[in-house]
Amino acid sequence: MESAKEQTEAKRLLAEGVWRRAALAGMFLAVLFSWLLYLGDSPIPNTDFYGFYWTAHALHNGEAPESFKRAPLLVSILVPLAKQETPSEAIILFARVVSLTGYLVFGFALYLFLRRFAPQFAALLTLLYLLNPHYLLFVALQPIADAWLGAGMMLGCLSLLNGKRWLAWFGAMFACNARYDGVSLLPALLWRFGSDRRRWGFWAGLGLAVLPTVLWLMVGWYYTGHISPYVQETESAGSSGWRFVAVVAFTFLANFLPQKVLEEHSLFQLPNLALLSATGIGLGIA
């Protein structure tokens, strides 16, 4: 028979669990409500969306795209829908919902991460971050891949803490295939889980993360003669494109190279990459 102390502790844990679930549900509802409010103020999508869509449209018609600048995640989602050369309002709305989904996945991962350090304030801090108008308007509401890049990065950060390998590779899959910048997640994951390299699961997870993008870049190189238009852009800016690729692949702060720091959405990645760097280096040293 349970003692009074044990019963009190069980009730406390139950109440704490209910509060956390309620806080999490309230947080997501607040983000969804804010997203719907902003939806009418952003009738014109980010111009990057048309790059994703036209690439998907070419693939839908069985043709090689003119450009492989956009990473394959959002392109592959749009392929079945890209029948017309011009996207309909319904397709744009669908792509916005895809971004919102990634934004919520990012928020959930951020909440779990913060709960390890500040459990009483994790929901509030996450809510304040997610309701930032800049992120809502330019990340969650725009039909582009930045939200899923953030989601993958944050899942990777979380896996560095809890040691869950499947979470690490799913995060890497979303990050690497959402935008090429996502490969900056891989060094920390290889550092954290490199001891498993003799297991098939390690190579399966790594393949899940990088093979789609590697194959995509190889096809792009076959048709265009360049591994990525980002290489051409950095070369035209007066720096070595191949140096840029190397730095992105082997550093944590790829988004903050000189040619990236002025990008409109790069601040969205600052908390993710800062946490990634600190956690990865700390666990690697330990």
CA distance 173 to 152: 7
Per residue in 237-275, pLDDT tens? 444 444 444 444 444 343 333 334 334 444 445 555 555
Q: How far is residue 143's CA from residue 154's CA, in Å, rounded to a whole number? A: 20
pLDDT at residue 229, as a whole number? 58
CB neighbour list of residue 148: distance below 8 Å, 6 or more residues apart: 73, 74, 98, 99, 102, 105, 174, 175, 178
Mean pLDDT of 181-210: 79
Percent of the chain at pLDDT above 70? 71
Supply the pTM of this predicted model.
0.76
Is residue 21 predicted with pLDDT exceeding 50?
A: yes
Determine the average pLDDT of the residues in 214-242. Answer: 65
Q: Could you tell me what percent of the chain has a pLDDT over 90?
A: 22
CB 178 within 8 A of CB 98: no
86 burial level (CB within 10 Å; 0-12, 13-18, 19+): exposed
